Amino acid sequence: MGTMTHLVWRQLIKEKARTFTTILAMAVAATLTVATLIGINSARHSMYQDNIQNTGGLQFVLSKVNQETALAIQKKADISESVRYQQQGQISFADQVPNQPDSPLLMLPKPALQRLIQPILLEGRLPQNEQEVMLAQDLISDVYAVGKTVAAQRNGQRVVLKIVGSYRGYAGLMARDGAVTTDHFDGTKNYAVAAAFGNYGNFYAKLKKLTAQYHVGSDQQRVNELALKRAGESRDVKVRAMFVLLVIVVLSVIGLVSLALIYTSINLSVQAQTQRYGLLRSIGATPRQIRQSVYLQ
């Protein structure tokens, strides 16, 4: 151990209170930084969990794919959860509601109903068989209310369905103008997969890779954007930049306060030792050695 290092250690031990204050300031800075990062991450995850419940824990839907593609997507290693459903026809309201376009008739098996529709159930109940249907809230009217019937085209055949409920069309992943029934899959076309990645980090990059692999267009995708925004995953660069800026500002404040404490402690120590540094210079210590002793402290 060099002479200057030995002297520094003696000085630090001698001024225990000041040394302790400096170490405490460093510990507080590190603790606040870690606590802030953990708190921000925890808050993001909590808000994500609250919003993802509206879509049954599922993050996105890829629609208008064939049966083979739907099954392949469900088997992907990075897909943690998924359900399938199928568009099996159309419902036309034009005879009773002028200028109302046809709505897709979606067949959801019971597991898909529980995951995708139950969280956004607005009125009534889930359909229990192929003769019952739920309508998106915008389709409910005096003519087409819960308890009444509506005509539909299912797989080329005309059917009459009883309206048993409605769902919030703007809250989940389902079509905002859709009609939902339950039955069994038929044929190999018009499937949809609602799924979630095991980790929502880099969500849009993973979704882009997945859709490119299976040639799924942007018009075939629906995403729970609100939940992902809460988690810090957003298509909008400005939103991500604002979040990063917020983190930087918080950490900067912590850093500046901590540095001020550390600087004050060391500065007081240096000022208190001015006479000692003069004595060291008088016995041959170089300016470089004096600086080293300050840096070591």
* Per-residue pLDDT tens listing for the chain (297 residues): 577 677 777 777 777 777 777 777 778 878 888 888 888 888 888 888 888 988 999 999 999 999 999 999 999 999 999 999 999 998 887 666 666 788 899 999 999 999 999 999 999 999 999 999 999 998 888 888 999 999 898 888 889 999 999 999 887 898 888 999 998 999 899 999 999 999 888 899 999 999 999 999 999 999 998 888 888 787 666 666 777 787 788 878 877 877 787 777 777 767 777 777 777 778 787 888 777 777 777
Asked whether residue 229 is assigned to any structural domain, the reply reads no
Q: Is residue 235 part of a domain?
A: no
Q: Are residues 96 and 120 in the same domain?
A: yes
Whether residue 134 contacts residue 126, with contact meaning beta carbons closer than 8 Å, is answered with yes
* Domain co-membership, 254 together with 215: no
Helix runs in 53-105, H state only: 67-74
**pLDDT at res. 284:** 80
Statement to judge: residues 38 and 122 lie in one domain: no
Whether residues 193 and 105 share a domain: the answer is yes
Q: Report if residue 53 sits inside a domain.
A: no
Q: Are residues 75 and 97 in the same domain?
A: yes
pLDDT of residue 94: 63
Amino acid identity, residue 265? Answer: S
CA dist., res. 191 & res. 84, Å (int):
7
- Do 87 and 183 share a domain, yes or no? yes
Residue with tokens 């192929």: 130
Whether residue 63 sits in one domain with residue 193: yes
Residues 182 and 82 in one domain: yes
285 domain-assigned? yes
Does residue 142 lie in a domain region?
yes
What local confidence, expressed as pLDDT, does residue 32 receive?
Answer: 82
d(CA 246, CA 202): 20
Q: Are residues 204 and 77 in the same domain?
A: yes
| DSSP-assigned letter for residue 114 | I
Q: Please tell me whether residue 59 adopts helix, strand or coil conformation.
A: coil
Distance CA 105, CA 180 (A): 6
Tokens matching residue 131: 């003769």
End position of a domain, from candidates 192, 223, 254:
223
**Residue 269 and residue 172 share a domain:** no
Boundary residue ending a domain (223, 250, 278): 223
Reduced to 3 states, what is the DSSP secondary structure of residue 152? strand
Asked whether residue 181 is assigned to any structural domain, the reply reads yes
Residues 68 and 214 both lie in one domain: yes
In-domain check, residue 233:
no
Q: Which of 67, 69, 101 is nearest to 86 (CA)?
A: 67
pLDDT of residue 1: 53
Boundaries of domain holding 214: 59-223
Q: Does any domain span residue 52? A: no
Number of domains observed in the structure of the chain: 2
State whether 77 and 200 are in the same domain: yes
pTM of the model: 0.74
Structure tokens at 182: 């339950």
Residue 55, number of CB atoms within 10 A of its CB: 25
